[in-house]
Structure 1
Amino acid sequence: MLKRAALLGLMVVATPAFAEDIDYSGCVSMVDRSPQTAERKAAEWQTHGGGGAAMHCHALALYALKRYDEAARVLDALGRNRDVPKGERAALFQQAGAAWMLSNKPRDAVASYSSALSDLPNDMATYADRARARGLMKDWKGAEADLSVVLGQDSNRADLLVLRASARWAQDKKADAASDIVRALEVYPDYPPALLERGKMKFSAGDNVGARKDWQKAASSGQGETAADAKRYLSSLPR
């Protein structure tokens, strides 16, 4: 769920002529109870001087309704409002990026995350998020660069080591990719995503026995997409 931080720079309460009980916290609470009602109320509130607070509540309601594309557009528009304090603009762009990702628009997500980094250049979580978006675009060089920034600050992120290994492998940097997997398994022994990637590397090198062993372990200990991918790879191996 998107972060529900108050927009301190743009808190505007609706006029009594519209609805005395509508304010940011009340609107956000309404998102939990009835996102449809919150979406309608927030849209009305915007037309009655609700400003940034109304826009943000509207985005939260759209997100809750899984209208991710619309939510991202509202968040991006709000982030571009120069009256919003810099730190809050970055948070809005981060939220827009998350919504773009759920809307399967990684290129737009990259743009939003880049805007967030312009205002908050040392935010490692945003670098990691942008790397994931770049990976979906098959911008492997960009993904590797972003992941290297984060891993330069914390070399014990097994999840990001696996992602960088994948990006490096796609660029035919096989030795560097293998090194990342070795490091990931040092940090987190038998880490299912790392086993999945190592199995792919072994299979590429013709080591079907080694690949099978890694994928079997990933399938049995992994969850979700990792386990499903491992089972799919296993089914493709010759008997």
Structure 2
Amino acid sequence: MMTAFASLLLPFALMQTATPDAGGAAARTAERFSQCVAMIDDDAERAYEEAMAWAAEVQSVGAYRCAAMALVAQNRYAEGARRLDSLGSAVNPAETATRAELFSQAGNAWLLGREPARARASFTRAISTIESDPTQLPDLLVDRARAYAMEEDWRHAEEDLSRALDLRPNDALALRLRASARMHQNSFDLAEADAQQAFTLAATEDDRVSAALVLGHVRESKRTGAPVDEQ
């Protein structure tokens, strides 16, 4: 089962995709990676030490990945993000899924560190890597839109979210984020429609609360003629 911290950095269920190794070592690598990631929530410092010891043994990409994730869990966001970006660059170019996953993890780490420009660059590398697989693109586009929104680049955020929704219609999160992006561009009617649809599609109580909050912001913005500051 994925840990709470791991879920922040494993948007594509990476627990199911170990770094490819030769022969029967792949299964052992997958198991060790799973164990290392599971340790992060309980003791991130120990997880880092275990990962680096593993890396010293076999130079496994999985070991370095777990070490980077453990750094992020210790709020050492820049260190972890840089390592993940470097790993993404170092992986065999033929391993497009793994490269995209690493760049995506790096992007999320940069977001946690409030470095939206660096996050955007990492997500763009992930998108370029996986462009031929539309099933993976929506999550990456939503994540890059979050980076754009953190930079208050609402037009590009809306563009990424619209593209994500073209590929995966009725995505409640993308609709909610697009509602916010549209509100900040004074497109209040379109924003209200998105927020209302996000509320209707929300699958959990937390999602409904978040959608209702955005809908309230949009309606207040529409009433006053100025976007609500959501900070």
Whether TM exceeds 0.5 here: the answer is yes
Q: Which residue of 2 aligns with 1:202?
A: 222
CA deviations over 1:196-223 (Å, ceiling 9, x no partner): 23332233249xxxxxxxxxxxxxxxxx
Aligned partners of 2:117, 2:88: CA distance in 1, in Å? 17
Aligned partners of 2:110, 2:181: CA distance in 1, in Å? 21
Matched, 1:53 2:62: yes
Taking the TM superposition and a 5 Å limit, the aligned residue runs for 1:134-149 are: 134-149=148-163
CA deviations over 1:114-137 (Å, ceiling 9, x no partner): 111112122211111111111110
Larger radius of gyration: 1
Q: Match of 2:158, as an amino acid? A: E
SS at match of 2:114: coil
Deviation at 1:183, TM superposition (A): 4.1
Seq. identity, %: 35
Instruction: Indicate if the aligned counterparts of 1:43 and 1:58 stay in contact, CA closer than 8 A.
Output: yes
Deviation at 1:186, TM superposition (A): 5.5
Taking the TM superposition and a 5 Å limit, the aligned residue runs for 1:87-236 are: 87-121=97-131, 122=134, 123-184=137-198, 187=201, 191-205=211-225
Q: Which residue of 1 aligns with 2:205?
A: none
Instruction: Indicate if the aligned counterparts of 1:147 and 1:164 stay in contact, CA closer than 8 A.
Output: yes
Q: Match of 1:115, as an amino acid? A: R
CA deviations over 1:163-184 (Å, ceiling 9, x no partner): 2222223233344334434544
User: Gaps spanning 5+ residues in structure 2: where?
Assistant: 1-5, 23-31, 203-207
Instruction: Indicate if the aligned counterparts of 1:9 and 1:83 stay in contact, CA closer than 8 A.
Output: no
Taking the TM superposition and a 5 Å limit, the aligned residue runs for 1:28-39 are: 28-39=37-48
CA RMSD of superposed structures (Å): 3.2
Q: Match of 2:40, as an amino acid? A: V
Deviation at 1:187, TM superposition (A): 4.7
Deviation at 1:97, TM superposition (A): 1.1
Taking the TM superposition and a 5 Å limit, the aligned residue runs for 1:68-83 are: 68-83=77-92
How many correspondences in the alignment? 200
Aligned partners of 1:8, 1:39: CA distance in 2, in Å? 18
Aligned partners of 1:169, 1:60: CA distance in 2, in Å? 35
Instruction: Indicate if the aligned counterparts of 2:179 and 2:214 stay in contact, CA closer than 8 A.
Output: no
TM-score by length of 1: 0.69
Instruction: Tell me: higher relative CO, structure 1 or 2? Use CA pairs within 8 A at least 6 residues apart.
Output: 2
Q: Match of 2:224, as an amino acid? A: S
Deviation at 1:89, TM superposition (A): 0.7
| Aligned CA distance change for structure 1 residues 148 and 28 (closer, same or farther; 3 Å) | closer
Deviation at 1:139, TM superposition (A): 1.0
Q: Which residue of 2 aligns with 1:226?
A: none
Higher mean C-alpha deviation, range 156-165 or range 123-132: 156-165
Deviation at 1:49, TM superposition (A): 4.5
CA deviations over 1:5-41 (Å, ceiling 9, x no partner): 4542358xxxxxxxxxxx5455445435532123234
Higher mean C-alpha deviation, range 53-62 or range 149-158: 149-158
TM-score by length of 2: 0.71
